[in-house]
Amino acid sequence: MSNNVFVITEHMNGKFSDVSFEMVGKAKELASALGGQAVAVVVGSGVAANVFASDSTIHVDDAALEQFNPEAYGKVIEALVKEKSPRLVMFGWTATGMDIAAWLSARLGKPCVAYGRDLCIENNTLVVNSQVYGGKMIAEVAPEGDMAIVAVLAGSFPAEAGQGSTAATTVASPIALDGLKTKFVEAIKPAGGDVDITSQPKLVSIGRGIGSKDNVELAEELAQKLGAVVSSSRPVVDAGWLPRTRQVGKSGLRVKPKLYLMLGISGAPEHLEGMKSAELIIAINTDKKAPIFNVAHYGATNDLFEVAEAMLELL
């Protein structure tokens, strides 16, 4: 068993996700405290892997890994972890992390902590702060045993600390990938919407608290006065009040506007993943304990309709 920290990186169309760099930066800090190395693990074919500031980078290259396949990726990562025996394996709490982290935990019989917001080493023991109950509580967890798996929320650490140019060691798959029961068929991109919310400098984002489709008009009027565009959390899209191209979050789009004004959004981790990097976050929610107030720069616990009407009057 080593004291190394493995970071399972993520990429799509040749581009690595921000959470990969965020985890590598944190892994360097943890590995230093443990007396080990931060190792970036890149699984996939046809991707430039020398973009991390890790102590070392392992690139598993195989034609069967060109597109993400949870079965293939899981088996490769399991074999690699068994061979190298790291102290900690870090995933992003993303669609990829959800597919593999808990599966790997079950396969190895090692503890897994999801929704990780922070990690540190105390007296040579790993301590993880994990968001529970939609982010309304923080659980401090110290996984037992000689290895732990932690799935980290995107946006928890600065991405810059993990960016670099460490040369990657390319290896073949440690396990045969023929006879897979799952195969990649097609990547279906979402249809283009009337507006690209990822390029907008100002967004007025609405959540379940907007109440009904009829009230979306109020948000649109406010957005127009502010020179902004309306976006939303997932419940609004699931209800059919706005198209999916307006959805912000893990299963939607990631945005980084100069202004992100939120009306009736509680701030579940899945939504925070998509907007936490906004320059100015203003939250309106009657629930004083809503987790969104942990990240908002300004907030009000008044009724969103009263606030919106007052803003419209002033504007």
220 and 117 assigned to the same domain: no
One domain for residues 11 and 153: yes
Residue 10 sits in the same domain as residue 59:
yes
pLDDT of residue 192: 63
Report the CATH number at residue 106: 3.40.50.620
User: In terms of residue numbers, what domain contains 268?
Assistant: 197-314
pTM: 0.79
Residue 182 lies in a domain: no
Report if residue 39 sits inside a domain: yes
d(C-alpha 6, C-alpha 99), whole Å? 17
10 shares its domain with 144:
yes
pLDDT of the chain, 315 residues: tens digit per residue? 789 999 999 998 889 998 999 999 999 999 999 999 999 999 999 899 999 999 999 999 998 999 999 999 999 999 999 999 999 999 999 889 999 999 999 999 999 999 999 999 999 999 999 988 877 788 999 999 999 999 998 888 999 999 999 999 999 999 999 889 998 998 887 666 678 999 999 999 999 999 999 999 999 999 999 999 999 999 999 999 999 899 999 888 889 999 999 999 999 888 988 898 899 999 999 999 898 998 999 999 999 999 999 999 999
Contacts of 287 (CB under 8 A, 6+ apart): 266, 301
Residue 187 lies in a domain: no
Q: What is the CATH number of the domain that holds 216?
A: 3.40.50.1220
Do the bridges between strand 125-132 and strand 112-122 make them parallel or antiparallel, or are there none, so unpaired? antiparallel
Can you tell me the distance from the alpha carbon of 315 to that of 309, in angstroms, rounded to the nearest whole number? 10
Q: Give the C-alpha separation, 14 to 8, whole Å.
A: 15
Q: How many structural domains compose the chain? A: 2
pLDDT for the residue numbered 309: 95
Give 126's strand partners: 121
d(CA 291, CA 300): 13
